[in-house]
Amino acid sequence: MHILVTGANGYIGRHVVDKLLTLDNVKVTAIDFCIDSIHEKADGLALDIFNKNIDVYRETGEPDACFHLAWKDGFIHNSEAHMEYLSSHYLFCKKMLDSGLKHLAVMGTMHEAGYHEGAIDENTPCNPISQYGVAKDALRRSLLILLNNTKYKDVVFQWLRAYYIYGDDKRNNSIFAKIVAAEEAGQEYFPFTTGKNKYDFIEVDELAEQLAACITQKEVNGIINCCSGDAISLAEKVESFIKEHAYKIKLKYGAFPDRLYDSPEVWGDNAKIRKIMGNRNK
């Protein structure tokens, strides 16, 4: 199976490429603006996928599947880049399908749902309240409208929705990365919220394994929550992170107010990903 991965040099992309390369009979073409950190066993290609003069599908050898991970400023929820590039993401996916692609997977996010309490499944109504969530939600909806066209009736479509990611922390922009930086700077205290909100956390390496499992099968499709299926308080997770790394830094609770748009308790319904991983391990 020949799989094209866009955004392959990014935080999640590197891990996905590495996981795919451990699988038998999988060839990986990895695309990004810069490919300096992509695994040497992948066919790395520095390419602007939004260049309208490039037929990415044929340029990359007509892959069996494309995992569209590329996204600018994913950790900056109200960056103007989300809306600036929205149409480019849609047109890239459409052009890949029009060129002959039969299997498209796109990275989604739980932030599409917006403020929500409880489990998020594939039927949960979405009301995003950040530019990041709005753009991702719009892309998903637009692609579903496109795929209603009978010319795409044979296309396998997967929307892989991630939750709160940690691990490989110096490469991301999460609270865990900020704690690592504060510890290395010798700070005694880290300004924190109340930490009471509960989220579905997943380590990036485990997430990458789930994502790789999704795109290398065609039985389970549509919206797939790639997550743990459990909700843990932010305080508990961060305290555990500090202890695990034997850091000296302490949390200063209440230094910042909780964000009004954060859900008090939210997690992903992981029924689909459990089925995929179960089938893979048979």
Give the start-to-end residue ranges of the domains of the chain. Answer: 2-165+201-229+269-280, 168-198+231-252
Q: Which of 101, 97, 103, 242 is nearest to 183 (CA)?
A: 242
Query: Exposed/middle/buried for 214, CB within 10 Å: 0-12, 13-18, 19+?
Result: buried
Architecture field, domain 2-165+201-229+269-280: 3-Layer(aba) Sandwich (3.40)
Question: Is 259 a residue whose pLDDT tops 80?
Answer: no
- pLDDT value of position 149: 95
Digit-coded pLDDT (tens) for 32-80: 999 888 999 999 999 999 999 999 999 999 999 999 999 999 889 999 9
Identify the three-state secondary structure at position 268. strand
Instruction: Say what the pLDDT of residue 170 is.
Output: 79
Least confident of 58-72, 93-107, 208-222, 258-272: 258-272
Confidence at residue 261, expressed as pLDDT on a 0 to 100 scale: 74
SS3 235: helix
83-113 residue pLDDT tens: 999 999 999 999 999 999 999 999 999 999 9
pLDDT over 70 percentage in the chain: 99
| Res 202: pLDDT | 96
Write down the pLDDT at residue 281: 65
Residue 82 is predicted with a pLDDT of: 98
Does the annotation mark 57 as catalytic?
no
Say whether pLDDT at 258 is over 90: no
Torsion angles phi and psi, residue 17, rounded to 5: -60, -45
Q: Determine the straight-line distance between the first and last CA of the chain, rounded to whole angstroms.
A: 20
Name the β-bridge partners of 32.
46
Percent of the chain with pLDDT over 90: 90
Residue 195 has pLDDT above 70, yes or no: yes
How far is the C-alpha of 137 from the C-alpha of 126, rounded, in Å? 8
Per the residue annotation, which of 57, 132, 166, 199 is the catalytic one? 132
